[in-house]
Amino acid sequence: MKILAENRKARHDYFIEETFEAGISLSGTEVKSIRKGALNLKDSFVSFSGGEAFIKNMHISPYEQGNIFNKDPLRDRRLLLHKREINYLFGSVKQKGFSVIPLSVYLKDSLVKVQIALARGKKLYDKRNDIADRDAKRQMDRAIKAKNQG
């Protein structure tokens, strides 16, 4: 499994409740561009319409040798999920106030897969608590390292 892109901001902005693996419907030049690592998940999200899931705002840079076959870099791309997974995610988004966001894009047996997550947004004080916990852990690690060396 080779990770091609990761949404690092997602774990900072959301509590990740559950993750799913989904295929993604792409054109040939998009796959070539993704294999080169020319994609960005920063502001992307998943929306639902017509009983299908679509990933929006995922930027895939145009392939240089693609000429007329290149697609719009920000076009909506269909996610390949089972019907029950789509219904579960759609129900959670509608009733419980969750969001569905992509966490990473990776190659699995030469297929492009997207890891999506059912997530709940963090408030500002939650982010501050995470930062304080991370700083405390870093200071403890430094103290342990200094004690072992000294």
What's the pLDDT tens digit per position in 77-122?
A: 899 999 999 999 998 888 887 889 999 999 888 888 999 999 888 8
Please check whether residue 147 lies inside any domain of the structure.
no
What's the pLDDT score for residue 1?
80
The set of residues, in sequence order, having a beta carbon less than 8 Å from that of 14 and lying 6+ positions away, is 99, 101, 117, 119, 120, 121, 122
Q: How many other CB atoms are found less than 10 A from the CB of residue 5?
A: 22
Q: Exposure string (b/e) for 106-131, b if CB count within 10 Å is 16 or more?
A: beeeeebbbbbbbbeebeeeeeeeee
Average pLDDT estimate for 22-45: 85
Distance (Å, whole) CA 91 – CA 51: 11
Distance (Å, whole) CA 78 – CA 53: 6
Please check whether residue 139 lies inside any domain of the structure.
no
Q: How many other CB atoms are found less than 10 A from the CB of residue 20?
A: 20
What's the pLDDT score for residue 69?
65
Please check whether residue 135 lies inside any domain of the structure.
no
Q: How many other CB atoms are found less than 10 A from the CB of residue 73?
A: 15
Please check whether residue 148 lies inside any domain of the structure.
no
Average pLDDT estimate for 27-54: 86
Please check whether residue 53 lies inside any domain of the structure.
yes
Please check whether residue 127 lies inside any domain of the structure.
no
Can you tell me whether residue 31 is helix, strand or coil? helix
CATH for 49: 2.40.280.10
What's the pLDDT score for residue 28?
79
- Total domains, the chain: 1
Please check whether residue 129 lies inside any domain of the structure.
no
Please check whether residue 6 lies inside any domain of the structure.
yes
What's the pLDDT tens digit per position in 48-84?
A: 998 899 999 988 888 777 676 667 777 888 999 999 9
What's the pLDDT score for residue 11?
83
In terms of residue numbers, what domain contains 76?
Answer: 2-122
